[in-house]
């Protein structure tokens, strides 16, 4: 575990568990859901990276550049592939100072048949936490690519989420998107409703403005994403947390119809894409 401290902020990072955040606090209070002490389950972390794609790929298979790709599928999420490789692999530390740590994951071709390098940097400042995530194609042929971050925020019966996005991807059986509908057809967040009043939500909101706010009446958590993270996946399962995930493409973008602006990027050899997320907290 690596600990960073700056002013009223403290961050614990677990490089061996997908470069995940084990704990983030401000003034001693959790900003992200804390990972239980001694846990080895990255799904109990406070945040983890999504690389080289975000969310689901239907049936764990797709075709790209004439190649048929069959991905590994986790039993809990079968039959679909989920969230890429980075969250399931150990990362190594690159650079560190008092408030910043950079971690790297180098991927050799396997079920995902392209080599790449991912770097995640955490930086604490008076303004809060900034997370930068980059992906570089280190192979010799083009590869599809996308990024995301998966933070979990604590929820009480007073927590309200404000997130402005006009549309949401409706889902077929198995959590695969089918079509865009007005956000209110699932659940609208523009007016800051209580999270506990939402139905079960595990949906991707499109044309997101890049800013979301969570407040419990005592403090405000503000999430800001880079401009290329134009989708926000909201996971509100009716438990003591919710997720607001900035991502650079919609779910199952590898099966998007030709011509759709799905957000998927094609990286040529040596090309890099990047995204960022900021988390700030203030008194309400």
pLDDT at 174: 73
For 61, what's the count of Cα atoms within 13 Å in the CB-facing half-sphere? 6
Give the separation between CA 9 and CA 184, rounded to whole angstroms: 36
What is the helix (H) or strand (E) element at residue 241, kind and residue range? strand 241-247
Closest to 208 measured CA to CA, from 145, 164, 177: 164
Task: Kindly list the domain boundaries of the chain, sorted by start residue.
Answer: 2-283
Compute the average pLDDT of residues 262-267. Answer: 97
Work out the number of other CB atoms within 10 angstroms of the CB of residue 161. 24
In percent, the amount of the chain with pLDDT more than 70 equals 100
DSSP 3-state of 92: strand
Right CATH for 2-283 from 2.170.150.20, 3.10.20.90, 1.10.3470.10, 2.70.98.10: 2.70.98.10
pLDDT in tens, 168-213: 998 877 789 889 999 999 999 999 999 999 999 999 999 999 999 9
Compute the average pLDDT of residues 163-170. Answer: 96
pLDDT at 131: 98
Q: What is the pTM of this model?
A: 0.96
pLDDT at 177: 87
**Furthest CA-CA distance within the chain:** 54
pLDDT in tens, 204-240: 999 999 999 999 999 999 999 999 999 999 999 999 9
Residue that wins the pLDDT comparison between 171 and 2: 2
Adjacent-strand bridge partners of 278: 130, 224
Compute the average pLDDT of residues 244-271. Answer: 96
Using a 10 angstrom Cβ sphere, with 0-12 exposed, 13-18 middle and 19 or more buried, the burial of residue 258 is: exposed
Residue 95: pLDDT over 90: no
Closest to 232 measured CA to CA, from 137, 153, 124: 153
Whether residue 250 contacts residue 206, with contact meaning beta carbons closer than 8 Å, is answered with: yes
Give the separation between CA 120 and CA 111, rounded to whole angstroms: 22
The conformational region for residue 79 under phi > 0 = left, psi -120 to 50 = alpha, else beta, is alpha
Confidence of residue 166 (pLDDT cuts 50, 70, 90): very high
Compute the average pLDDT of residues 12-25. Answer: 98
pLDDT at 232: 98
φ, ψ for residue 76 (rounded to 5)? Answer: -70, -20
pLDDT at 20: 98
Whether residue 171 contacts residue 177, with contact meaning beta carbons closer than 8 Å, is answered with: yes
Closest to 129 measured CA to CA, from 92, 99, 87, 93: 99
Whether residue 69 contacts residue 61, with contact meaning beta carbons closer than 8 Å, is answered with: yes
- Do the bridges between strand 176-182 and strand 148-149 make them parallel or antiparallel, or are there none, so unpaired? unpaired
Compute the average pLDDT of residues 3-31. Answer: 97
What is the helix (H) or strand (E) element at residue 272, kind and residue range? strand 272-283
Give the separation between CA 209 and CA 192, rounded to whole angstroms: 15
Closest to 32 measured CA to CA, from 211, 223, 191: 223
Closest to 271 measured CA to CA, from 52, 73, 29: 52
pLDDT at 234: 98
Give the separation between CA 64 and CA 122, rounded to whole angstroms: 33
């Amino acid at each position: 575990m690596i600990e960073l401290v700056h002013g009223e902020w403290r961050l614990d990072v677990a490089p061996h568990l997908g470069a995940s955040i084990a704990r983030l606090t401000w003034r001693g209070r959790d900003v992200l859901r804390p990972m239980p002490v001694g846990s080895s389950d990255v799904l109990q972390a406070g945040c983890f990276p999504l690389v080289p794609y975000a969310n689901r790929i239907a049936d764990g298979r797709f075709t790209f550049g004439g190649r048929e790709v069959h991905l590994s599928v986790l039993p809990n999420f079968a039959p679909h592939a989920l969230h890429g490789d980075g969250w399931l692999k150990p990362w190594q530390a690159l650079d560190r100072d008092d408030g910043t740590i950079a971690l790297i994951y180098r991927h050799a071709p396997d079920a995902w048949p392209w080599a790449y390098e991912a770097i995640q940097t955490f930086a604490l400042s008076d303004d809060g936490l900034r997370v930068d995530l980059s992906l570089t194609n280190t192979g010799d042929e083009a590869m599809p690519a996308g990024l995301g971050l998966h933070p979990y925020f604590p929820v009480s019966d007073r927590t309200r989420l404000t997130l402005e996005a006009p549309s949401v991807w409706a889902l077929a059986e198995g959590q695969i998107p089918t079509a865009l509908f007005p956000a209110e057809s699932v659940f609208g967040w523009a007016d800051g409703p209580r999270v506990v009043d939402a139905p079960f939500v595990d949906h991707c909101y499109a044309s997101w403005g890049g800013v979301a706010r969570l407040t419990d009446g005592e403090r405000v958590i503000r999430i800001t994403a880079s401009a290329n993270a134009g989708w926000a996946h909201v996971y509100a399962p009716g438990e003591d947390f919710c997720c607001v995930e900035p991502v650079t493409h919609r779910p199952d973008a590898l099966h998007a119809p030709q011509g759709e602006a799905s957000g998927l990027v094609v990286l040529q050899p040596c090309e890099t894409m990047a995204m960022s997320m900021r988390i700030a907290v203030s008194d309400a």
